[in-house]
Structure 1
Amino acid sequence: MSLPLEISGLTVRSPRDRVLLDVPSLSAPAGALIGIRGASGAGKSTLLYAIAGLLERATGSVRWGEADLLAQSPERRARFRAGNIGMIFQDFLLFEELGALDNAALTALFRPRAERAALRQRAAQRLAALGLSDTDRRVTSFSGGERQRVAIARAMAAEAPVLLADEPTASLDRPNADRLIDDLVGLVRTQGTTLIAVSHDAALLARMDRVLTIADGRLAQDEVAA
């Protein structure tokens, strides 16, 4: 399952009331792969965090399916994210003292006991699909590419219908970035997951269905990927 996105009148302001992001309208069907590009400071990550419901100073409407995140309380947004949105960050955010499987299955700790074994099994399956077999080894000994694979497995283990990624290949060399792109795109297309990825990586953007260009906090271009 995946979710469609419908944005209307989205505005994000700074504490000093400066407009950081202004998106009058944007829609994407369920299962779409969308890239977001733009110069540093243009508002790419602001858009990503706004559609995840992580910004308190965001106004307007961000609707995933029937749920309008910006109309919900912070507690309800957090519950929605836990069940529907997986996130991949540039700096991995792994627990160094844990192995790959324990990191990938981390969200099981916050689920009802009856769901934990199944989530851990899915985490192991995602790691295997991403080419990681030594799942008990601590991630301190993993390469950057391996760490990012663990982060992807963690984001996808809960089978969230939406996956948001912030510069997922930025810390990787070209060969590892290309392998990661193949694995990530292959998994989300197989599962029908809606993927929205902020990236400067032309190779990743070329694999998207659609690429948005953000400039000065506004949507400057919306085009089908090459």
Structure 2
Amino acid sequence: MSLPLVVKDLRLHSPRGRLLLDLPALDAAPAALIGIRGVSGAGKTTLLYALAGLLDRAEGSVRWGETELLALNPEGRARFRAANIGMIFQDFMLFEELGALDNAALTALFRPRAEREALRTRAQARLAALGLTEMGRGVTSFSGGERQRVAIARAMAAEAPVLLADEPTASLDRATADRLIDDLVQLVRTQRTTLIAVSHDAALLARMDRVLTISGGQLLADEGATCG
């Protein structure tokens, strides 16, 4: 199931009242490829987290399909994310006591029992495609690039309707990054996943249908907004 996105009057203030994000409107069709660029501190990651319902102070409307995300309580938002959103965090968010496969298949814990084995199989395949074959090896011994690949495999194995990625190629060498970009684009096209990716990687941004430019928490440009 694909999910359209409609954002209206999305704002976020710091605890001291400083405006961190101000987005009057943003629409995205299902299965869109959207890149977000801007200098460090521009509000890119803040926007991504707001779209995921991870920021309690966010105001306004973030509607994925029929679900008004910001109207849900924290538990409701967490359930919605578990069912509908795969996330690639810049700091990986891995469990140090688990191996690569157990980390990559973590979302199976939140799925019906009948779906768990298939998700674990997809996680193993994603790890292998990204060049990680030591499935049981603890992630404490992994390099930054290897940890990034585990986090990517976890998000892609879930095959959620929405994939939100924060600098997904940042810790990868060029060849691995290019393979990942191909995989992400293929996932969107075949599974009709909506991808929104924060990135400084020109190669990734060049493959997007639209590229948003964020500065000072505001949308400065929306290139390719009419693309399907």
Partner residue of 1:158? 158
Deviations 1:45-64 (A, max 9, x none): 11000010011111111000
Partner residue of 2:197? 197
Task: Tell which deviates more after alignment, 148-157 or 18-27.
Answer: 148-157
Partners in 1 of 2:123 and 2:177 — Cα distance? 21
Task: Tell which deviates more after alignment, 130-139 or 16-25.
Answer: 130-139
Change (3 A) 1:179 1:145: farther
Q: How does 1:1-226 map to 2 (within 5 A)?
A: 1-224=1-224
Query: Is the 1:145–1:176 Cα contact (8 Å) retained in structure 2?
Result: no
Query: Is the 2:130–2:176 Cα contact (8 Å) retained in structure 1?
Result: no
Could you state the TM-score of these two structures normalised by the residue count of structure 2? 0.90
Please state how far the C-alpha of 1:203 moved relative to its aligned partner: 1.2
Aligned CA RMSD, in angstroms, stands at: 2.0
Gaps of 5+ in 1: none
Gaps of 5+ in 2: none
Could you state the TM-score of these two structures normalised by the residue count of structure 1? 0.90
Partners in 2 of 1:112 and 1:175 — Cα distance? 36
Deviations 1:160-197 (A, max 9, x none): 10000011122233333333322333333332210000
Partners in 2 of 1:119 and 1:173 — Cα distance? 27
Partners in 1 of 2:59 and 2:153 — Cα distance? 32
Please state how far the C-alpha of 1:143 moved relative to its aligned partner: 4.5
